[in-house]
Chains A and B, each alone.
With several copies, the nearest count.
Chain A
Amino acid sequence: MTTMTYADAAKQALTEEMRRDPTIWALGEDLGRGGVFGQYQGMAEEFGPERIADTPISEAAILGAAVGAAMSGTRPVVEMRFADFALCAIDELVNQAAKARYMFGGQTKVPLVVREPMGMWRSSAAQHSQSLESWYTHIPGLVVVCPSTPHDNFGLLKSSIRCDDPVVYMEHKNLWALEGAVPDCDPIPLGVARIARTGQDLTIVSWSSTCHEAMLAAVTLEEEGLEAEVIDLRTLWPWDKRAVLDSVEKTGRLLIAHEAVQVGGFGAEVAATVADRAFSSLRAPIKRIGAPRVPIPYAPPLEDLLRVTPERIAAVARELTR
């Protein structure tokens, strides 16, 4: 058990995995000098430039080459720098990585991890702030992971690296410096939610950075006598339907909070699933809180307006339980 940052937890996980398995390698821009967020700091010194590979600014080639390398006996960990830049490599991710195993009838697998740092990060504006996790949940073949704590970033990255499927691994940029306990633990299984807090009165489902807002909201609500159950999905595909359905069967009320644009966000999938499978347990409308359908603005006050805050979550929770 050690305390470390979210960034270091990932570095620790990757380092341990690379020591264990010589076929694992990381590739991306500026990794040799530690990566833009320092997530690879010192790794080139330990593993050398072949396994911590500096690439040209060629997102499409980075991801496309990773597909070929994953089909040929290695396990690439791809760094996309900002999730937004992965949009330069969508054919490679969606038409190639995700489909190769199926199109080729199981003749190959594509064991790669694509790290896509996501989300708002002060004044990064429209092309450096997006949360597009719901896109990947829609693509057969992809696994989608959104860790919210240092512990999860350690354990889920390990599982993602060991997974034989292409995994879209989305770390939230605002969490890099978050400190937390990381027990000496086994990999954390993909697809299992974390019940961050139990409660009887309503269920709040969230993931990534927004979990922390949900937890803050839950504290406020508790002071008002409302017990919220907070579920951190951690993995969006596969997602832990059982945990959510069980919770809603208990509380009868569901609120889903995420940073991404609400329209077409993964909250819709959670809501739709519950509106089908736990309909009879529902005692109130299902509520979602996400960003308005607006690109992320640069100016801090405008940016803040789009955020999902503990206050917004608590307000909707109150409405739900009224």
Chain B
Amino acid sequence: MVSQKTTNVDIDRLLKHHALMWRIRAFEEAALQAHTEKLVLGAIHPSIGQEAIAAGVCLNLRSDDLLTSTHRGHGHTLAKGADPNQMMRELLGREGGNSHGKGGSMHIADFSVGMLGANGVVGANIHITAGAAHAIKLLKSDRIVCSIFGDGAINRGPFLEGLNWAVVFNLPALFVCEDNGFASTTSTSSVTGGKGAAARAEALGIPSLTVDGNDLISIDEAVRSVISSIRAGNGPRLLVAKTYRLSGHTASDPDTYRLRSEVEKAWESDPITNLGGVLRRAKVDTVILDNHESNARIEMAAVFSDAKAASWPPLSRAFEDVQDIGDPRQEAF
């Protein structure tokens, strides 16, 4: 399924994507390492194998566009422009994390780059997206809001209610379904009626497009065209990106529900390798490509060291930012 379309593509653009994908990969590997070292004690959901979606979607968003994500949100957040130092500190629960270590991996967020948060509740970000897009419309801004969620999320009510909402109010929302075939240990095809996300969105009046989520070039093109339609005021769109989760569901998932051979086979369509191949065939110097990998690893190793060395948040943080009225610093009981 490797895209052969190298004509008309902007090599610099692809290189940017390639570098970003490596940064995501290296970030996830560092996060897994942190879990192994018991520096992260909660759940980590790595996005290894799905980096083309994060890159292809987020590099097409403006920095003032908004984004919401799921439990598997590191890649999206990084791609939207968040600082990996802050992110890794957040994962390790340290001061200097985006949320002072109060949210952690499942709630990774960086509002300064328009990333309104990962979410621990499958599907919950869909409504938040609809609402953010609603606000944007009320405020007559030309920003758009993107929501990324998994193929498991399309069986929850918000998929219907939130997408319907976006149609009814003709909102500037881009919905992206990362269809990796699984919801935790369950094959989504076994729990999903009909033809899946695209068909459901169409029935709700949302035009949708299905692309190979491991082919950065296809995603990049699809997202670009879809976003320009959304920004032009044509209402919401859905993009379904077919992919495969190369790692376990969480860092501690023994992953016994998939055949090893299936996973190994899937590695052959690793989106980073795919894009690397395209670039190589386009005669990009291999050193540049290799540097993306090594630079990313160097960067994320430093990020990891920084986070390890960072201090815990001061205990007073526990009582901050709950609410103004009825603030627990005045009355916690």
Contacts and interface: CB of A to CB of B under 8 A. Distances in A.
A183 to B, nearest CB: 23
11 contacts: A53-B169, A56-B165, A60-B127, A65-B134, A71-B131, A95-B124, A122-B41, A124-B43, A127-B107, A140-B328, A301-B315
Contact of A141 (B94, B100, B157, B323): B323
Contacts, number: 294
A51, A76, A297, A301 — most chain B CB neighbours (10 Å): A297
Interface stretch (A8-16, A30-38, A204-212): A30-38
A72 B267 CA distance: 39
Contacts of B66: 72
B192 interface: yes
Interface in B218-273: 256-257
Nearest to B97: A105
A190 interface: yes
Given A65-B131, A88-B121, A126 B107 contact: yes
A300 B41 contact: yes
Contact of B324 (A57, A105, A165): A165
Given A106-B320, A142-B323, A298-B101, 16 more contacts: A55-B191, A57-B122, A60-B157, A66-B131, A68-B68, A68-B128, A68-B133, A69-B134, A74-B135, A101-B322, A104-B109, A108-B111, A123-B104, A125-B42, A300-B93, A300-B312
A293 B124 contact: no
A225 B317 CA distance: 37
Interface in B101-124: 101-104, 106-107, 109-112, 116-117, 119-124
A61 B326 contact: no
B109 to A, nearest CB: 5
A92 B131 CA distance: 12
Contact of B313 (A141, A290, A299): A299
B324 A124 contact: no
Contacts of A237: 326
B184 interface: yes
Question: What is the size category of the interface that chain A forms with chain B?
Answer: 35 or more
B102 A107 contact: no
A292 B312 contact: no
B158 A64 contact: yes
B330 to A, nearest CB: 8
Contacts of B164: 56, 58, 61
A163 B325 contact: yes
A127 B312 contact: no
A294 interface: yes
B136 to A, nearest CB: 6
Contacts of B68: 68
B135 A102 contact: no
B325 A302 contact: no
Interface string B300-333: 0000000000001101011111111110101111
A57 B130 contact: no
Contacts of B183: 29, 56-57
Nearest to A238: B326
A53 B133 CA distance: 14
Interface in A93-134: 95-96, 100-108, 122-128
A264 B332 CA distance: 12
Nearest to B157: A60
Given A70-B131, A299-B313, A103 B186 contact: no
A103 B117 contact: yes
Nearest to A50: B138
Interface string B178-189: 000001111000
A69 B132 contact: yes
Contacts of A66: 131
Interface stretch (B24-32, B148-156, B276-284, B288-296): B148-156
B128 A96 contact: yes
B1 interface: no
Contact of B121 (A32, A85, A106): A85
A79 interface: no
B139 interface: yes
A122 B139 contact: no
A61 B161 contact: yes
Given A84-B121, A92-B127, A101 B161 contact: no
Contact of B102 (A23, A25, A297): A297
B199 interface: no
B99 interface: yes
A106 B41 CA distance: 23
Contacts of A57: 122-123, 152-153, 155-156, 183, 191
Interface in B28-85: 40-43, 66, 68
A246 interface: no
Contacts of A125: 42, 102-104, 106-107, 120
